[in-house]
A and B are shown apart, each in its own frame.
Chain A
Amino acid sequence: MKKLFGKADIFIIISVLVLSLLLFIPGIFNNNNLIATVYSDGEIIEEINLNEVEVPRTFSPKDGTEITVEKDRIRFSAACCKDELCIGSGWLSKKGQTAACLPERIVITIKGTDKTDMMTY
């Protein structure tokens, strides 16, 4: 029996493998970033790459509501309602985490999924 693969075949196989790996790579890179999205009334008002936050900052999407951003994490830091549930949610630092201020209709989510696609609660 002759060899099953010639030099040309091996070249093709390797190039196909490399090609498909290359196609995967953008996905892998994108998935590693922690992107926080801030919604107000259902509209995106800010998208923050948490991995690239160098200097912590605080901003106020609406009067009385404050959001604080640090490297790799984000949270509600001030609210105008009395139960302050959104502050109680604490720091968000993982994919799929959400905190919301219902009275002011502001939501922070970190895009993507960690191990789960959706949470039931």
Chain B
Amino acid sequence: MCRNRCSALRNTNNGNKLNTKALIAVTVCAVLLICIVLTDLVQSRSEYSSTTIAMGTVVNFRLFGSDGEQTELGLKENLTETEEALLSHRKENSDIYRVNAASGSAVSVSKETVDFIATALEVSKKCGGVFDITVGNLTKLWDFGGDNQRIPDEEEIAKAIETVSHSSVKITDTTVITANGQSLDLGAVGKGAACDRIRNYLSATRTDSAVISVGGSLLLYGNRSFNIGIVNPENDTESMGTLKLSDTCVSTSGDYERFFVEGDKTYHHILNARTGYPAESNLSSVTVVCGSGTLSDALSTACFILGYNDSLVLLKEFDAEAVFVFKDKTVRVTDGLEKKFTLTDESFVMAE
């Protein structure tokens, strides 16, 4: 019956029918086009970005979704809490401060602090102790970026290094025990840990996607993919390459971040926990990509100290990827990032 009607239609007005079809097609296309344009507009309008200082560093927020302003307020509080209640070794009442003040005995801390410490210890164990969160006494001696930064005496370093030993830190679900006189410094993982806490916080908000930088350690949240610039070690306002990534964490460790020059030698802030001195490395920076912020922070520091070859083994253990920038301006990328990395500064070259 339908066939009859259709053929009847065709017979009566062939030209009109074609036009109706075309008209429908065009209208559908138009509606689709307008939808695409509108969603794009709405999406860009619903971006909320801001910059602040928290945890002693610059924090950039770019939030996509609803309630951006309100979410940002919550995030600022969250960061302050990370510093003051959990990780700072300077703020009295923080978990780490209390652990250090009572070294040798059990101190009850939050579950989160235990998790961050556990992750850091795991990396220490697997990298042969070149990265270690029990370096508190050492970092106090060097005091990079502080009022008393200086090259410590050899004896001072020898004495401080006696207290560096990740294996003497014992943890349970809610307590931490360090060795007597030992001092924890979670500075190397603090920003990444903050990223992990932020991810938890965001999951309870109306944020669809976000990219947040806590002093250069990044959280990429949600499905949206972002172009991440890796800083040019020679010029901190420019990037030397980009990574296209989503839903992950990114951390970079480099010798350009904090350093001082004495005589004709430069002393940068990444200490080899085994020697007590700044890591001797042919690397300018290592950028690590992995799901956990704490882990990517710890790994980027450990890899910078270890150098390229040993890093590959370590990264495999934790299922992490990395971009290595060498002092001779060559660049190496692990297999998983090969397709996501683009070199943008022509003065750098990919290593053969």
List residues of chain A with CB under 8 Å of any chain B CB: 1-2, 4-6, 8-9, 12-13, 16, 19-20, 23-24, 27, 37, 39, 41-42, 83, 89-90, 92, 94, 96-98, 100, 102, 105, 107, 109, 111, 113, 115-121
Q: Could you tell me if B19 and A9 are in contact, using CB atoms closer than 8 angstroms?
A: yes
Which B residues are CB-close (under 8 A) to A4?
18, 22
User: How many residues of chain B have a CB within 8 Å of chain A?
Assistant: 51
Secondary structure class of chain B's binding surface, majority of residues: strand
- For the complex, is B226 an interface residue (Cβ under 8 Å from A)? yes
Q: Could you tell me if B52 and A120 are in contact, using CB atoms closer than 8 angstroms?
A: no
A-B contact pairs, 8 of them (CB 8 A): A9-B23, A16-B26, A16-B33, A83-B145, A96-B229, A98-B60, A115-B227, A117-B211
Which B residues are CB-close (under 8 A) to A119?
213, 216, 228-231, 239
The chain B residue sitting closest to A31, CB to CB, is B44
- For the complex, is B140 an interface residue (Cβ under 8 Å from A)? no
- For the complex, is B204 an interface residue (Cβ under 8 Å from A)? no
**C-alpha gap A118/B237 in the complex (Å):** 12
Q: Could you tell me if A121 and B216 are in contact, using CB atoms closer than 8 angstroms?
A: yes
**C-alpha gap A4/B18 in the complex (Å):** 7
Nearest first, the 5 A-B pairs at minimum CB distance are A116-B229, A121-B216, A121-B231, A42-B52, A117-B226
Q: Could you tell me if B51 and A20 are in contact, using CB atoms closer than 8 angstroms?
A: no
Q: Give 1 or 0 for each of B191-213: 1 = CB within 8 Å of chain A CB.
A: 00000000000000000000111
- For the complex, is B151 an interface residue (Cβ under 8 Å from A)? no
Q: Could you tell me if A39 and B51 are in contact, using CB atoms closer than 8 angstroms?
A: yes
Contacts A102-B58, A107-B52 given; 14 further ones with Cβ under 8 A?
A: A4-B18, A8-B19, A9-B26, A19-B34, A23-B34, A23-B37, A92-B237, A116-B239, A118-B228, A119-B216, A119-B228, A120-B216, A120-B287, A121-B231
Q: Could you tell me if A2 and B34 are in contact, using CB atoms closer than 8 angstroms?
A: no
Most buried by B among A89, A90, A111, A116: A116
**C-alpha gap A83/B341 in the complex (Å):** 34
**C-alpha gap A94/B56 in the complex (Å):** 25
The chain A residue sitting closest to B36, CB to CB, is A20
Q: Could you tell me if A23 and B250 are in contact, using CB atoms closer than 8 angstroms?
A: no
Q: Give 1 or 0 for each of B49-91: 1 = CB within 8 Å of chain A CB.
A: 1111100111010100000000000001000000000000000
Which B residues are CB-close (under 8 A) to A89?
236-237
Q: Could you tell me if B252 and A121 are in contact, using CB atoms closer than 8 angstroms?
A: yes
- For the complex, is B218 an interface residue (Cβ under 8 Å from A)? yes
Q: Could you tell me if B231 and A118 are in contact, using CB atoms closer than 8 angstroms?
A: no
Most buried by B among A98, A100, A121: A121
Contact of A118 among B44, B56, B226 (CB under 8 A): B226
